[in-house]
A and B are shown apart, each in its own frame.
Chain A
């Protein structure tokens, strides 16, 4: 990991996480569609970061977000879980020819379709964990499911549009 990467990561943290807890947190569609925008930071973390460090980062980010949501442990648990799943999902989504030499996950480097699939899968896991833990069980399960659905779609949309805004795809 180069110094350049660290700066990039810090910048990404500022954009996604800080922006999330200050502003995007209050974006709610009809009380079911929340926006977990901070996941944009975790999902686009560089592939060159070793897994233990990745888990530590996700733990800290989850904890930080939890402080703002007043839900200790919930986002922490879900973030660490999807960070552990991330390498497995990436291997699962390997295209036919294999990956080119890449170490960053963006729309421009991976392609729109790949990126959306990847985001959707991890977000479903994340939101499912978060809302189940919030409801502390399977009571109101249809409500939980509708929350999972709306939140996943909304968050994916937000993260992708932000990607387009930040990193213009190479022509």
Chain B
């Protein structure tokens, strides 16, 4: 200990010098938007390309799994397509509104970074604004919902995962149509909680939960999860429902970013409504 102190005293000038230089650098980086941006952008590009490399290696090992999944997805899509054709034959007199058919565009992307162990998890994908991805778009995978685009650079985008404590997802119980809000509680990457389902409704274990139509991020009916247990305390008005998420966040590899063509229209209309409400108050 004495030696350490002696060592420090011998180099007191150098330590003070370092202290002042670090102070100056803090000033430099915190106050210069250009330098800050250049620094953080370049570091971002470096880290993103490094993550890309490592995920490429990992994906090579997971190829078998991914293949299986994609084959399953293909099969399901083929099935849907065939049933759609049949349906169209039956009801070809009812003209489908083309705008509703093409309301959502799906942009495939590869996950290059993902975490499930923090309270606020984010996912990075290898598509960005160059592939017409914008902030606020919903992200799903074959199994269910994944999250919402938080920010995007030219070639990469960050997604706020469903496993993020501030993320509320408007979801509904498919069987009875009741709408609630889904939130992750920060512990288990498989489980989340569904709130605001009123007490008079009958909720069963195993009920399917899908995304509701009350949002402009996800299409209605995207799979969210299944009910595992239902809790209600004495005089509360709402259930607290434990949900097993259908998406396995530990094994995410490919996701689809959803581009809602009418998002701006819907949002602006809704915000207008909210404005009207506030004024009338």
Asked if A pairs with B, the answer is yes
Q: Does B24 contact A (CB under 8 A)?
A: yes
Task: Evaluate contact between B20 and A56: CB separation under 8 angstroms.
Answer: yes
Task: Evaluate contact between B38 and A59: CB separation under 8 angstroms.
Answer: no
Please measure, in the bound complex, the distance between the C-alpha atom of A127 and the C-alpha atom of B14, giving whole angstroms.
22
Partner of B21, one of A51, A81, A136: A81
On whether A73 and B34 interact (CB within 8 A), knowing A52-B13, A80-B20, the answer reads: no
Nearest chain B CB to A61's CB is how many angstroms away? 12
Task: Evaluate contact between B28 and A133: CB separation under 8 angstroms.
Answer: yes
Please measure, in the bound complex, the distance between the C-alpha atom of A62 and the C-alpha atom of B12, giving whole angstroms.
21
Q: Does B31 contact A (CB under 8 A)?
A: yes
Q: How large is the interface on B (under 10, 10 to 19, 20 to 34, 35 or more residues)?
A: 20 to 34
Partner of A72, one of B27, B38, B39: B27
On whether A73 and B16 interact (CB within 8 A), knowing A59-B23, A59-B24, A136-B38, the answer reads: no
Please measure, in the bound complex, the distance between the C-alpha atom of A110 and the C-alpha atom of B138, giving whole angstroms.
72
Q: Does B53 contact A (CB under 8 A)?
A: no
Q: How many A-B residue pairs have CB under 8 A?
A: 59
Q: Does B26 contact A (CB under 8 A)?
A: yes
Task: Evaluate contact between B35 and A136: CB separation under 8 angstroms.
Answer: yes
Report whether over half of chain B's contact residues are helix, strand or loop; otherwise say mixed.
Answer: helix
Chain A residue, CB-CB nearest to B42? A137
Q: Does A154 contact B (CB under 8 A)?
A: no
Task: Evaluate contact between B32 and A73: CB separation under 8 angstroms.
Answer: yes
Please measure, in the bound complex, the distance between the C-alpha atom of A52 and the C-alpha atom of B16, giving whole angstroms.
6
Q: Does A114 contact B (CB under 8 A)?
A: no
Nearest chain B CB to A135's CB is how many angstroms away? 10
Chain B residue, CB-CB nearest to A85? B17
Can you report 14 residue pairs joining A to B where beta carbons are below 8 Å apart? Answer: A51-B16, A52-B13, A55-B17, A59-B24, A66-B27, A72-B28, A73-B29, A73-B32, A76-B23, A77-B21, A77-B25, A77-B28, A80-B17, A80-B24
Give me the interface of B with A, judged by CB distance under 8 Å. 12-14, 16-17, 20-21, 23-32, 34-35, 38-39
3 closest pairs, A vs B, by CB? A73-B28, A73-B27, A72-B31
